[in-house]
Structure 1
Amino acid sequence: MKTLQNLTGGVWGDSFEDTLLDVVNPATEDVIARLPGGCRADVDRAVAAAVKAQPAWAALPVTERVAHISAWADTVAEYADELADLECREMGKPVGVGRTFIDGAVVGLKASAAQALSYGFEENISHPDGSATKLLRHPLGATAVITPWNFPVAMVLGALGPMLAAGNTVVVKPSERSPLSAVRLFELLDLPPGVVNLVLGDACAGAPLAEHADIQLVHFTGSVGAGRKVGAGTGKLLHRAVLELGGKDPVVVDAGVDPGATAKAVAFGAFINTGQICTSMERIYVHQDIAAEFVEALVEAAGTYTVGDGHDEGVMMGPLVDERQRDTVRRHVAEAVERGATVRAGGVEPDSKGFFYPATVLTGVDDSMLVMTEETFGPLAPVVVVSSFEEGLERAARSRFGLAATVYTRDPDHVAAATRIPAGVVWINQWQGGGPERLYEPAGDSGMGATGARAAYDAATRPASVHIAARTAS
């Protein structure tokens, strides 16, 4: 049984803590590895290594930092199949799905790092009196990335590019539920020792990392409850936090769209990765004029999402990550049915080992049910029929979450109206669209702190102005 180790200052080593946690394959329920529970001493050692390495890393020309990151990305691309296999073993994602997201993350890492080459780390402004101001953006120092279990490779790569390219060093704490691929990712690392460090464990490692006095920025992706604790910890230190938390993303389906094609697109957004995506489609509002056709097509599409071990050919949906996550899905469905909702597809678990749950479609739901108010994070598509597009928009906005939203419409006026949805990202007629220039900040309980493109560099640097008097400037 393999016991995973931490990476500190370029050296792999055991934790100071003897407690071990199990890594469980959710398709077989077998223990496949163990990792340390983590402790403050592990964090202190990793942060010290990051602090020590940071001045030399920041002193490199930005072109060299970007070249280092790009070379690592190329190495990761060569091992994408292996990393996708590890993700399947540790959290259930079908290998093909995992490979797609890892490939995208590698491209994203290279693109986000390359943005450093055009970012304004230094700008000069001349004034009419002959004086000048130099605007500088300095790296923050040692930073932290705490990632969730659902995309253990992609989430790490997505956060690291701007932080590293800006001259910061990083301590990464992956989820204790999916650490295998993160460990392998850093075995492939080819950066100077201490630039990136890895600490394993649960909250016993995460909490002291988020609250460490020498960590200047915490980039956290996870639950609302944990995010509030991270924000409180960084706030006490007057340090920065970028928090991407839960979502209950709405979909508004307008009259006039193709109900069959749209239903297939919505099924993908609701069921891919077994619904375990923070931007999964979790609330569906469909116009009454096409509701019957749309629901029938959605039910038909749900039936094509075959459930099984993600290593098996033809499997569209793997298991949920663990029994706790499946319990959440069960509870949400049971509460909805008890209050009058109808199960149109799925809803019955297979009689086999593994934390499986089928693609499920519910109708007859209302906005007070758990399936419409709380993040389910499972393969569940609850449908509400609305009398107008305006009603759909209004109900879509009626949530404490504001991560993303998707709208399907052919009406240009409705496209314009969709921008009123209070969310960090609004997709029109294409879920998950957008390029590397995209930037956003979640609304409501979905988080805080702008990220993406130049906003990620703004978050990873500290601006300073140097004013030079006229005589000096001349």
Structure 2
Amino acid sequence: MTTSLREKELLAAVPTGLFVGGSWREAADGARVAVEDPSTGQTLVEIADASVEDGAAALDAAVAAAPAWARTPTRVRAEVLRRAFELIAARADDFALLMTLEMGKPLAEARGEVAYGNEFFRWFSEEAPRISGRYSQNPAGGSRLLTMKQPVGPVLAILPWNFPLAMGTRKIAPALAAGCTVVVKPATQTPLTTLLLAQTLAEAGVPDGVVNVVTTSRTSEVVAPLIADPRLRKLTFTGSTPVGKKLVEQSAQQLLRISMELGGNAPFLVFDDADVDAAVDGAVLAKMRNQGEACTAANRFYVQRPVAEEFSRKLAERMGSLVVGRGTEDDTQVGPLIDARARDDVARRVTEAVDAGARVVVGGGPVGDQGYFYAPTVVTDVPAGARLLTEETFGPVAPVVVFDTEEEGVALANDTEYGLVAYAFTRGLDRAMRVAEALETGMVGLNAGIVSNAAAPFGGVKASGFGREGGFEGIEEYLETKYVNFPL
């Protein structure tokens, strides 16, 4: 696979340094780290690899910029965010191609992520002027009670690799709308989109030091001192539950405000009264978004016995027809997994399930001799203890399990430490509401294979974390409430 002239020109235009205090700079020790194309395994470009000193400089810049940005009128902050929305929309093709190059997702999906991720700038540009408090009388008399909302303060935002734009905008937009400054640490695998975003935000008028980007392969080494610094007031993280738990422990020393969007193991329920064709459509959407590399991806398919054979057959037909290839190709529907480790982990889980008695209906192995591709796979007769069911699988594998009663299906869905999202397909309104209320998740897709929306609160319960991103709730994560007693 060769790199096109368009790809070369885009890569040459993307900054490769650290963005600190409004300026681009190299790492203090001159270190560089390679960014890989997962469809080829080859290096796309090398970027600055930040040290502890660079992380400290980024926090210094955020702290220095915080008072002025907090005092900036909300309407001004809103207009900056709106300009960012318009600039990203104008450069949608660049952002989409860049995500495809560094993460692997098909261009059509990357374009969808640009549209979705950019909505957070539009949504929170509208929410910034609506930050409000309240004024009330003291019930006992003699004074008035005034409450006001103020920015939390400097924020550290740690991003995952699977949605390079949307995971950044979901954190940066509400932080800026609330009046907070930010230090952003993108994932080592997919930092280029964040660097282009920083460049775009600067052009939109974000003041120096309000947004700082630190790219590094030495994440723990760079991040730990920032979390321990008393000037940092909030930590927001999207990633795995084990890493999230460690960050929560570290943040406790400073009693930081924290938001944790962690792992998922989403169940997908198909009841006997469901429209099976619609359920298959929803299943492919819920499973195959991002090659299955999404915390919202359906991981466990529980199908009621009367429709199990039809659903499994039709799902296998659809999954088997998907075109696997480099994301930049027009006909590609499934791109590579992020790296060799991810591909090999998926392969091991399928092999383990088969060895324990499961049956592969379609797919079941790596594809090609270049890059990190894995075939869309459907597995039936999966034993209860298989890792395909008990753990989150970041890949294009759909394990199908049959159940008999509604109560059994819901119990199977809830039998996990995770609680991010669940999906359920049924024609019955009464059943839909019973199931939605009984599922132990922060989000539910009823007869829908996708739930993400900038206007809705995204987040989970149990080991899937806490806090919400998006919706009216999203900006509250970056605001403190102050109460003032005003005697008369």
**C-alpha contact (below 8 Å) 2:275/2:427 kept by paired residues:** no
1:165-314 alignment runs, 5 A limit: 165-189=177-201, 190=204, 191-202=206-217, 203=219, 204-314=221-331
**Does 2:41 align with 1:29?**
yes
CA apart distance, 1:388:
1.7
1:68-467 alignment runs, 5 A limit: 68-120=80-132, 122-127=133-138, 129-189=141-201, 190=204, 191-202=206-217, 203=219, 204-418=221-435, 419-433=437-451, 435-439=453-457, 441-467=459-485
Query: Aligned partner of 1:193: which letter?
Result: D
Corresponding residue to 2:53 among 20, 34, 41: 41
**C-alpha contact (below 8 Å) 1:112/1:436 kept by paired residues:** no
SS at match of 2:449: coil
Quickly say closer, same or farther: Cα 1:154–1:437, change in 2 above 3 A: closer
In the alignment, the residues of structure 1 paired with residue 223 and residue 291 of structure 2 have an alpha-carbon distance, to the nearest angstrom, of 26
**C-alpha contact (below 8 Å) 2:116/2:453 kept by paired residues:** no
Greater CA deviation, 449-458 or 156-165?
449-458
CA apart distance, 1:108:
2.7
Quickly say closer, same or farther: Cα 1:412–1:259, change in 2 above 3 A: same
In the alignment, the residues of structure 1 paired with residue 319 and residue 60 of structure 2 have an alpha-carbon distance, to the nearest angstrom, of 50
**C-alpha contact (below 8 Å) 2:81/2:124 kept by paired residues:** no
1:10-25 alignment runs, 5 A limit: 10-25=22-37
Query: Aligned partner of 1:270: which letter?
Result: K
Query: Aligned partner of 1:336: which letter?
Result: A
Query: Aligned partner of 2:33: which letter?
Result: L
Deviation digits for residues 314-357 of structure 1, max 9, x if unmatched?
Answer: 10011001001111101111110110000001112223201000
Deviation digits for residues 193-223 of structure 1, max 9, x if unmatched?
Answer: 1111100113133333344332111110011
In the alignment, the residues of structure 2 paired with residue 206 and residue 78 of structure 1 have an alpha-carbon distance, to the nearest angstrom, of 33
In the alignment, the residues of structure 1 paired with residue 462 and residue 345 of structure 2 have an alpha-carbon distance, to the nearest angstrom, of 22
Quickly say closer, same or farther: Cα 1:92–1:437, change in 2 above 3 A: closer
Deviation digits for residues 270-326 of structure 1, max 9, x if unmatched?
Answer: 112110111000000000000010001000110221100000011001100100111
**Does 2:68 align with 1:53?**
no
CA apart distance, 1:437:
4.2
Quickly say closer, same or farther: Cα 1:91–1:293, change in 2 above 3 A: same
In the alignment, the residues of structure 2 paired with residue 37 and residue 10 of structure 1 have an alpha-carbon distance, to the nearest angstrom, of 18
CA apart distance, 1:80:
1.2
Greater CA deviation, 395-404 or 382-391?
382-391
Query: Aligned partner of 1:196: which letter?
Result: V
In the alignment, the residues of structure 2 paired with residue 351 and residue 197 of structure 1 have an alpha-carbon distance, to the nearest angstrom, of 39
In the alignment, the residues of structure 1 paired with residue 455 and residue 44 of structure 2 have an alpha-carbon distance, to the nearest angstrom, of 39
**C-alpha contact (below 8 Å) 1:211/1:230 kept by paired residues:** no
Greater CA deviation, 432-441 or 359-368?
432-441
CA apart distance, 1:154:
0.9
**C-alpha contact (below 8 Å) 2:347/2:365 kept by paired residues:** no
Quickly say closer, same or farther: Cα 1:88–1:52, change in 2 above 3 A: same
In the alignment, the residues of structure 2 paired with residue 449 and residue 91 of structure 1 have an alpha-carbon distance, to the nearest angstrom, of 26
Scaled by the length of structure 2, the TM-score of the pair is: 0.93
**Counterpart of 2:5?**
none
In the alignment, the residues of structure 2 paired with residue 17 and residue 222 of structure 1 have an alpha-carbon distance, to the nearest angstrom, of 28
CA apart distance, 1:55:
0.8
In the alignment, the residues of structure 2 paired with residue 291 and residue 396 of structure 1 have an alpha-carbon distance, to the nearest angstrom, of 16
SS at match of 1:289: helix
Quickly say closer, same or farther: Cα 1:98–1:440, change in 2 above 3 A: closer
**C-alpha contact (below 8 Å) 2:458/2:470 kept by paired residues:** yes
**C-alpha contact (below 8 Å) 1:267/1:381 kept by paired residues:** no
In the alignment, the residues of structure 2 paired with residue 245 and residue 19 of structure 1 have an alpha-carbon distance, to the nearest angstrom, of 30
CA apart distance, 1:109:
2.1
CA apart distance, 1:435:
4.8
In the alignment, the residues of structure 1 paired with residue 404 and residue 103 of structure 2 have an alpha-carbon distance, to the nearest angstrom, of 40
CA apart distance, 1:135:
0.1
Task: Flag structure 2 segments of 5+ consecutive residues without an equivalent.
Answer: 1-10
Deviation digits for residues 355-386 of structure 1, max 9, x if unmatched?
Answer: 00011000001331100011111001000010
In the alignment, the residues of structure 1 paired with residue 464 and residue 92 of structure 2 have an alpha-carbon distance, to the nearest angstrom, of 30
In the alignment, the residues of structure 2 paired with residue 391 and residue 361 of structure 1 have an alpha-carbon distance, to the nearest angstrom, of 22
Greater CA deviation, 127-136 or 358-367?
127-136
Greater CA deviation, 294-303 or 207-216?
207-216
Task: Flag structure 1 segments of 5+ consecutive residues without an equivalent.
Answer: none
In the alignment, the residues of structure 2 paired with residue 103 and residue 215 of structure 1 have an alpha-carbon distance, to the nearest angstrom, of 31
In the alignment, the residues of structure 2 paired with residue 12 and residue 311 of structure 1 have an alpha-carbon distance, to the nearest angstrom, of 29
CA apart distance, 1:436:
4.2
Scaled by the length of structure 1, the TM-score of the pair is: 0.96
CA apart distance, 1:434:
6.4
Greater CA deviation, 151-160 or 424-433?
424-433
**Counterpart of 1:9?**
21
